[in-house]
Amino acid sequence: MYPPPHHQVDDIDKMIAAIKQFPLGMLVSVKEDTPFITHIPFIYNDKTNRLVAHIDKNNPQLQTLQDGMNITVVFKGPDCYISPSIYDSENQLPTWNYIIVHITGKIQLINNPEAAKQSIIAMTEFLEKPEHKFILHADNPKMERFVNYIQAFEIEITNWEGKFKLSQDKSEVDQKNAKNELIKKSEASISGFIKTIYND
């Protein structure tokens, strides 16, 4: 398992916190040596300790998702470049810090339409926090049509991997400096980048 042991996190509560804060996961599966990857939001069900999501039925990756199959989901938290200039100690090299969670588990398809609806309602309720400006109701007429075009599923988690590279191999002062740098760069505005993508 990489990165090195001092960058590994075994605290499941911290990994759950990362998943809840950054729910857009990368679903990875394989069929006949061909990898399939889809970026979709997941919710973590605290009662069942499972991940819940849904995928478009037209997505070719659905062909790889069979009950009991092993899959991987990757969640990416904040990351940033760490310049040696932020450290108090000398003779450091540039690096990149990040928070990543890898989940391995077995998939279980949700084929009951009402259960699929409830999974969508639960996801909407979670993603609307804390204001809850929109509430999705089961009797929403659009839900009747939408549920036919998606495949809901759960993932029974069999392995957790927390890859938190946060300058743990540095001095306590330099770890704090790296923490502040990650916070500062994570809070920095990305409006210029977004405007570039939209060609504004």
pTM: 0.92
Q: What mean pLDDT do residues 24-47 have?
A: 96
Q: For 143-154, what is each residue's pLDDT tens digit?
A: 989 999 999 999
Q: Mean pLDDT over all residues of the chain? A: 94
Q: Residue 23: what residue type?
A: P
Q: Which numeric CATH code is attached to 5-197?
A: 2.30.110.10
Whole-number Å distance between alpha carbons of 118 and 137: 9
Residue 32 gets the label, from left (phi > 0), alpha (psi -120 to 50) or beta, of left
Confidence of residue 63 (pLDDT cuts 50, 70, 90): very high
Task: Count Cβ atoms within 10 A of the Cβ of residue 153 and give its class: 0-12 exposed, 13-18 middle, 19 or more buried.
Answer: buried
Confidence of residue 2 (pLDDT cuts 50, 70, 90): low
Q: What mean pLDDT do residues 106-122 have?
A: 96
> Of 12-26, 54-68, 186-200, which gets the smallest average pLDDT?
186-200
Q: For 8-22, what is each residue's pLDDT tens digit?
A: 899 999 999 999 999
> Any idea what DSSP says for residue 195?
H
